[in-house]
A and B are shown apart, each in its own frame.
Chain A
């Protein structure tokens, strides 16, 4: 009966037939045709007209009936085994459907024919009845069913009628079974239907069903061909895979810390925290490392808490520390953790695990300590007598002990020993043993001169190794080429007391002194004690005495005695020797200098610049020496000081000149020339003149020696040819009023400037003048020449000398800098070093810095130091010529370049450019390699040097014609906001100069960090160049062009054209120095 239920298997006809719409299907087109109009009818007609139209024709009723797929009904219903549903019914149905879809034609008719032979099932009549009732009386049907009753459609199509295998709708009668033809005429399909089975490759396939075989649950079917699983057999439960901890995780965070604890109590005090830490560093970044000590003994428990964290950049990743801890634990879970000869447990720090471990260990320690102390007490009692015996016994055996120098390294741990002799004999190496014993947990190999010590952290392990390997392990002897059995000597830890509980420190086993100390301490009587003490004290006293004598008595005494002042005669001897040596050196140096002077007497610019160099001092000194040696020799007798010192004082300040009488005039002179004779205090003047006159009164004999020096002075009577001249001069003139022999120069007598001695001397032209002067001041010849006179003479000479030097310096200054030296820069008194640091204003710098000269003429700072003299008329041709001579190679090339006209040049450049472009196109890549800077070719030879305007400037190396391109302003091309940002940043970082050049509104070229030398071009209000923005290859570039003809070595300038700044403080002063300078850049 279930077959009937399946009847309602919903499948709209459209879905089953639509795929065949295009096929030459008899059902398709009529169905389609009919449906359309019927639908329109429903839509258009009202309720009343419904019935009439509805049943107006058979065709239509059939069409409606078709809504219920009858074929389905029969298909399942008529199955012979319809009562039993095969488990693969669905698949069969699907298979049949497929058949129906692909080959509908042969299927339906045959089926029809088969079932047309009487199916007397009562249900078969139901549709018929309904149909009849519908046809006879339509209305009640409508009330029964919400949809129209089934009506036969396509009744006239004979092929189709065959479908209704038990009911002939045309004749409207049921068909007998015998009249029906079988659907399986050819026996193509099994009568019993299909079942789905799995073929050998486990694919489902359809097979004819054998009703005798009962269906089986395929799941229970364990076919022998089923694939064998390759999974491991698990005989115990395994942990769930680690769950990644993240922000979505619920519950408390998993532990990210591990506890490293020793498996058994470790006696190894060598294990350091850092080694443990390093060991666990490989799993992740350690954020916290803690080691715990025994609270009772303060010895390390070797329990470590290691907390992991995420590396700096990945702090948001919560899983990293957890994973590190997990991995650390996992790594050592199986094989255990073995660090520096000790075993450790590694566990995740869960809940109270740390505390538990700690308490258990501490308790264990306490227990052990108690045991040990008990043992120690018991042994101590029966110590003395038996110990000697024991030792004797042990000594008889060739017992190995650890050599003293290894004791610390071995640290009282068990070890195996192989003698050095044995090893050397067979040529064994440490590595051989290392390899052979690799499976044992040794902590280290110590290679000693006595042999090889294999240290173990654990006595058990050591014993195990000894038992298993000693006498059994073989190594191939390198000398004999045969395997040799190795015998180890087991050296147990000498002192069985573990150091950590013994409390005696590391050297319990080593020093007999301490052990003896523990015995000696008992003294029977007080006398004994005191005697021992006295011994100690006497020993100490001796040592103390020794150190005291040495450190306090001998040492300082020796040191004091060695003081050179204790040996004056030795010192003086040495000093004199040294002095002699120095003198020799000095004289040699002076002679050398003289030699050098004579060889180069030409104008030395550096010397000028340097001013007061050592050379200059020496020179002067020597000249003075020759000049005034006589006068000085007089002094030398009086003063027990070296001449050099005296001279030094003379040159410098003269406060304590030893002369007495002439002290006042002397000082006056000094002051005078210190003030550069420009002092104009009238108050001082009177006294000054008086002094002068006083001086002059004493002077007459003094001036005479001066005369030969000064050729201009004519009162030297010693020269015969000049006498003739004077004779001419003195000839009487035939004028009405007597005329002076020399023209009167009254300018000297102006009171505005004080009269200097030199002026006075100049006024005295001849003997007559001198005579008159003497008369005027009522001068008397002194009888004796005293020291004061000598000094005066020297002072006057010095004054003259100074004057001469001064004028020379001034001349040179003018020659070099064209500006007199600014008086403000001169130091008033004393050396310049004594002056405070001060800022020299920019406008004064030009008087000592040549490159600071004003710009009225083209500058020539480029080759400043190469030129012999500074020539002012540096016309372009001249300069270029000179350059040719100076450095021929570069200028030649430049000249060659210049010979061909720039127009030709450019043309050839263009051709070259085109050539390159063509090649680039051929290559087809946009490589920067071949991109050519057209502007580079047209560049003029320029260079940068210190500028008169500001810091650095750009200079033409050769003459440049007007309107020629000079150089491109190269730099990084940046956008406006970037430029603003950079400007701020540069200002912040102290880059005061701005090298930003605006191209247009949005683009700026920044040559601050990367750029060409064009950035050095200074601003000038009367510029020689101009900057133009031109387009090259679609890009805007800044190019500097010459505005006028520019001479070689002239500084290139252009107008910066800064925007006018309203804020006075923001304005930048202009130092261009041109005639029409605006004073400010902005």
Chain B
């Protein structure tokens, strides 16, 4: 492979291979399905809510709030309105979602997860196997 193209970064190549083997998707899935409440230092969880659901709940709550403020939202074009709201939620590193009591500090959380040495280690392990495989080839 390396012989084929010298110009491409070896590291990038490896990363590509990593993705191709589905490790990246798996990582993503893991992160998203992590138990949310547990991480939130409240160990005594009543119900295990993973990150995805937590986000969903929060979004729903926010949208409901918005509608309550402005009833006309639901009578307008649904597609456009939802796109606008979505952009608003996404803005400033999920600032809107982090607000409130049940807020999800998504940005902080993602940062934290990504900087987790455990995660890095896992990746490295995987990479090592991939690299070994390649070298064998």
Which residues of chain A have C-beta atoms less than 8 A from B120's C-beta?
A: 534, 538
* Contact of A737 with B by CB under 8 A: no
A563 vs B28: C-alpha distance when bound (angstroms): 29
Choose from A514, A537, A550, A557 the contact partner of B24 (Cβ within 8 Å): A537
Whether A533 lies near B86 (C-beta < 8 A) is no
A849 vs B24: C-alpha distance when bound (angstroms): 78
Given contacts A530-B131, A533-B14, contact A548 B24 (CB under 8 A): no
Which residues of chain B have C-beta atoms less than 8 A from A526's C-beta?
A: 131
Whether A561 lies near B63 (C-beta < 8 A) is yes
* Contact of A541 with B by CB under 8 A: yes
* Contact of A34 with B by CB under 8 A: no
Given contacts A550-B90, A554-B59, A561-B59, contact A567 B28 (CB under 8 A): no
B-side residues, CB < 8 A to A, are: 6-12, 14-15, 18-19, 24, 27-28, 31-32, 52, 55-56, 59-60, 63-64, 67, 71, 73-75, 78-79, 81-83, 85-86, 89-90, 94, 106, 110, 114, 120, 123-124, 127-128, 131
Whether A530 lies near B32 (C-beta < 8 A) is no
Q: Which residue of A lies closest to B25 (CB)?
A: A544
- Minimum distance in angstroms from A381 CB to a CB of chain B: 15
Q: Which residue of A lies closest to B78 (CB)?
A: A562
Which residues of chain A have C-beta atoms less than 8 A from B127's C-beta?
A: 530, 533-534, 537
- Minimum distance in angstroms from B65 CB to a CB of chain A: 10
Q: Which residue of B lies closest to A538 (CB)?
A: B114
- Which of B55, B59, B106 has the most chain A CB within a 10 Å cutoff? B59
Choose from A540, A553, A566, A567 the contact partner of B52 (Cβ within 8 Å): A553
Which residues of chain B have C-beta atoms less than 8 A from A530's C-beta?
A: 14, 124, 127-128, 131
- Minimum distance in angstroms from B136 CB to a CB of chain A: 14
Which residues of chain A have C-beta atoms less than 8 A from B123's C-beta?
A: 534, 537-538
Chain A, 536-575, contact with B by CB distance < 8 Å: what is the 0/1 string? 1110111011101110011101110111101100110010
Given contacts A545-B31, A549-B106, A574-B75, contact A537 B18 (CB under 8 A): yes
The interface residues of chain B, by DSSP majority, are classed as helix
Which residues of chain A have C-beta atoms less than 8 A from B18's C-beta?
A: 533, 537
Choose from B8, B28, B86 the contact partner of A541 (Cβ within 8 Å): B28
* Contact of A517 with B by CB under 8 A: yes
Given contacts A521-B8, A530-B128, A553-B55, contact A541 B114 (CB under 8 A): yes
Whether A548 lies near B32 (C-beta < 8 A) is yes
Which residues of chain A have C-beta atoms less than 8 A from B27's C-beta?
A: 541
Given contacts A534-B123, A542-B110, contact A561 B64 (CB under 8 A): yes
Whether B73 lies near A545 (C-beta < 8 A) is no
Whether B86 lies near A521 (C-beta < 8 A) is no
Which residues of chain A have C-beta atoms less than 8 A from B75's C-beta?
A: 564, 574
Given contacts A533-B18, A537-B123, A541-B28, contact A554 B7 (CB under 8 A): no
* Contact of A518 with B by CB under 8 A: yes
Given contacts A545-B31, A545-B32, contact A536 B12 (CB under 8 A): yes
A561-B60, A561-B64, A562-B67 provided; 14 other pairs, C-beta below 8 A?
A: A517-B7, A518-B7, A521-B6, A530-B128, A536-B12, A540-B15, A541-B27, A544-B28, A549-B94, A557-B55, A558-B63, A558-B82, A564-B75, A570-B74
- Which of B6, B28, B31 has the most chain A CB within a 10 Å cutoff? B28
Whether A562 lies near B74 (C-beta < 8 A) is yes
A563 vs B19: C-alpha distance when bound (angstroms): 37
A130 vs B91: C-alpha distance when bound (angstroms): 146
Whether A529 lies near B11 (C-beta < 8 A) is yes
Which residues of chain B have C-beta atoms less than 8 A from A987's C-beta?
A: none
A537 vs B6: C-alpha distance when bound (angstroms): 21
Whether A562 lies near B128 (C-beta < 8 A) is no
A571 vs B75: C-alpha distance when bound (angstroms): 9
- Minimum distance in angstroms from B108 CB to a CB of chain A: 13
- Minimum distance in angstroms from B64 CB to a CB of chain A: 7
Interchain residue pairs with CB less than 8 A apart (21): A521-B7, A521-B8, A526-B131, A532-B11, A534-B120, A540-B15, A541-B24, A541-B31, A549-B55, A550-B86, A550-B90, A554-B55, A554-B89, A555-B82, A555-B86, A557-B55, A557-B59, A557-B60, A557-B63, A558-B82, A562-B85
A564 vs B63: C-alpha distance when bound (angstroms): 12
- Which of A535, A545, A550, A574 has the most chain B CB within a 10 Å cutoff? A545
Choose from A521, A553, A555, A574 the contact partner of B10 (Cβ within 8 Å): A521
A518 vs B10: C-alpha distance when bound (angstroms): 10
A546 vs B11: C-alpha distance when bound (angstroms): 23
* Contact of A523 with B by CB under 8 A: yes
Q: Which residue of B lies closest to A520 (CB)?
A: B9
A342 vs B9: C-alpha distance when bound (angstroms): 38
A940 vs B10: C-alpha distance when bound (angstroms): 101
Which residues of chain A have C-beta atoms less than 8 A from B114's C-beta?
A: 538, 541-542
A544 vs B79: C-alpha distance when bound (angstroms): 23
Chain A, 504-524, contact with B by CB distance < 8 Å: what is the 0/1 string? 000000000010011011010
Which residues of chain B have C-beta atoms less than 8 A from A564's C-beta?
A: 74-75
Which residues of chain B have C-beta atoms less than 8 A from A518's C-beta?
A: 7
Which residues of chain B have C-beta atoms less than 8 A from A544's C-beta?
A: 24, 28
- Which of A520, A521, A540, A564 has the most chain B CB within a 10 Å cutoff? A521
- Minimum distance in angstroms from B51 CB to a CB of chain A: 9
